[in-house]
Amino acid sequence: MTNSAVTTAFAKAAAQNRAALVGYLPAGFPDKDTGIKAALAMARAGADVIEVGLPYSDPLMDGPVIADAVYRSLKGGTRVKDVLDTVAAISSAGTAALVMTYWNPVDHYGVAAFARDLASAGGSGLITPDLTPEESGDWPRVSDEYHLDRVYLVAPSSPQARIAAITRLCRGFVYAASLMGITGTRDSVSASAVGLVARTREYTTLPVAVGLGVSTPEQAHEVAAFADGVIVGSAFVRRLAAAPTPQDGVAAVRELTEALAVGVRRG
């Protein structure tokens, strides 16, 4: 089996002695076109992997910044098709794109159909914050069939046995939630992140990326010292939300990406 675009992106970052920069944006925010432009700007400014959020009505892992954005995206009429179009735009520009999604929209679409359509849009796989290995059903088999990555989360509270089971099922990378909480920017990187990454490495050789609460170049630099990837979400979404015009929003996303891309360099 060939390596996924995500695997290649992490390997390239490692070869350049830096952590991979993973940026999150919800599809359709503030509107479909601007969302795509922002993602492409992010890719050109140095993001290695882009997580495209599939807006969901009940985002219970998300803080107010992302929850408000996906609410507005849904009110604007965003559908799965728009998410896949966003993925296609990013992947055809040569950057790895994953879909970050709560499970019900995929379940409702049909796991096999979703995998097929994601693969044909050039998507690399799924990040699934509310799917446990126990309830994964057909997803492992279907994702094998379409060569899609499976990114599950580990948390500071995860016991060793769960980390072992989760990492066994992951492909692409492992998402380490830096803290016990929901998405949103924080003043400092949680102290639990270092330990979690170390515990995760006992069970896997996959790259481990740290997310939740990372928003500044300084924090990215701190995380890059011990993790293979740095995941930033709310900080981007907040800039898009605060911008007076869509163009300003895209510019703000580009600037933050450039600064973060410097931050993820080691040494």
Partner 1 sequence: MTSPPARPPAEPDIAPVPDRAGHFGEFGGLFAPESLMAALEQLAKEYEAARHDPRFRAELDELLRDYASRPTRVTEAKRFGAEHAGGCRVLLKREDLAHTGSHKINNVLGQVLLTKRMGKARVIAETGAGQHGVATATACALLGLECAVYMGEEDTRRQALNVSRMRMLGAEVISVTAGTRTLKDAMNEAFRDWVTTVDYTHYCIGSVGGPHPFPMMVRDFQRIIGVEAREQVLSLTGRLPDAVVACVGGGSNAIGVFHAFIPDGGVRLVGCEAGGDGDAPGRNAATLTYGSTGVLHGMRTYVLQDDEGQTLDTHSISAGLDYPGVGPEHSWLKDTGRAEYRSVSDTEAMEGFAALCRTEGIIPAIESAHALAGAMRVGRELGPDGLILVNLSGRGDKDVATASAWFGV
Active-site residue list: 51, 62
CA atoms within 13 A of residue 248's CA, in its CB half-sphere: 7
152 vs 236 by CB, closer to partner 1: 152
Cα–Cα nearest to 21, from 241, 251, 211, 248: 211
- Judged by CB under 8 A, the residue of 3, 16, 57, 120 near partner 1 is 57
> Shortest Cβ distance from residue 39 to partner 1 (Å)?
21
73 vs 95 by CB, closer to partner 1: 73
> Shortest Cβ distance from residue 63 to partner 1 (Å)?
7
Residues 80-119 touching partner 1, rule: CB under 8 A, are 80, 103-109
- Judged by CB under 8 A, the residue of 30, 35, 122, 129 near partner 1 is 129
Q: With the C-alpha atoms ordered 6, 99, 150, 129, is the resulting torsion angle positive or negative? A: positive
8 vs 192 by CB, closer to partner 1: 192
H or E element that contains 198: helix 192-201
68 vs 258 by CB, closer to partner 1: 68
Q: What tokens were used for 39?
A: 């993602």
| φ and ψ at residue 55, rounded to 5 degrees | -60, 135
d(CA 236, CA 37): 13
Query: x/- binding map, residues 144-183, to partner 1, per CB under 8 A?
Result: --------xxxxxxxx--x---x----------x--xxx-
d(CA 21, CA 11): 12
Checking DSSP bridges between strand 229-232 and strand 20-26, what pairing results, if any?
parallel
- Judged by CB under 8 A, the residue of 60, 191, 198, 225 near partner 1 is 60
Which residue type occupies 263? G
Binding site for partner 1 (CB under 8 A): 56-61, 63, 67, 71, 74, 79-80, 103-109, 129-132, 134-135, 152-159, 162, 166, 177, 180-182
